[in-house]
């Protein structure tokens, strides 16, 4: 059974940093692109970026580019999200997500997310 378990959320002051982790099990982690998605309270879903199977490629939307960094440790079946210069509007539940197949860059090269973690809540507040 595929399992994704996020951790590392909590209360952080504006301008602060936080590192989230996602522990993966039940599948060959090193063969999947992985993504982070967040959901602000009462709001919709926002994709935060993805990382290639071997970590050699990473992509982010403009909204978080330069502030958020995705990394992975395939030996430990773990995915990470380093968040810097946090703002009030970064308050959200953060999910790691696995596509059902390949999800590279470009057009027609991706699959939808068939596995999600339960999420970890990040609250940015003074």
Partner 1 sequence: DIVMTQSPDSLAVSLGERATINCKSSQSVLYSSNNKNYLAWYQQKPGQPPKLLISWASTRESGVPDRFSGSGSGTDFTLTISSLQAEDVAVYYCQQYYNSLPLTFGGGTKVEIK
Instruction: State the residues that interact with partner 1 by CB under 8 A.
Output: 35, 44-47, 50, 59, 61, 95, 99-100, 103-114, 116-119
**In the complex with partner 1, which residue's Cβ is closer, 13 or 63?**
63
CB of 62 to partner 1, least distance (A): 8
Q: How far is CA 39 from the centre of its chain?
A: 11
The pair of structure tokens assigned to 46 is 């926002």
Range 38-55 burial, b when 16+ CB lie within 10 A, else e? beeeeeeeebbbbbbbee
- Closest distance between partner 1 and the C-beta of residue 74, in Å? 21
Which residue reads 């580019």 in tokens?
A: 65
Shortest gap between Cβ of 17 and partner 1 (angstroms)? 23
Nearer to partner 1, 27 or 116 (CB): 116
d(CA 28, CA 26): 7
- Closest separation in Å from C-beta 126 to partner 1: 27
| Residue (of 111, 53, 123) closest to 83 by Cα position | 123
66 or 108, CB closer to partner 1?
108
Select 14 or 102, whichever has its Cβ closest to partner 1. 102
> Are 48 and 62 contacting, i.e. CB atoms less than 8 angstroms apart?
no
């Amino acid at each position: 059974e595929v399992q994704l378990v996020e951790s590392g959320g909590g209360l952080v002051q504006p301008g602060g940093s936080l590192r989230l982790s996602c522990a993966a099990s039940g599948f060959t982690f090193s063969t999947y692109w992985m993504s982070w998605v967040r959901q602000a309270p009462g709001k919709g879903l926002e994709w935060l970026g993805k990382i290639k199977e071997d970590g050699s490629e990473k992509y982010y939307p403009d909204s978080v580019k330069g502030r958020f960094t995705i990394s992975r440790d395939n030996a430990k079946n773990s995915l990470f999200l380093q968040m810097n210069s946090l703002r009030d509007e970064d308050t959200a539940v953060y999910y790691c997500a696995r596509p059902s197949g390949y999800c590279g860059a470009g057009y027609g090269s991706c699959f939808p997310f068939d596995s999600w973690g339960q999420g970890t809540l990040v609250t940015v507040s003074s």
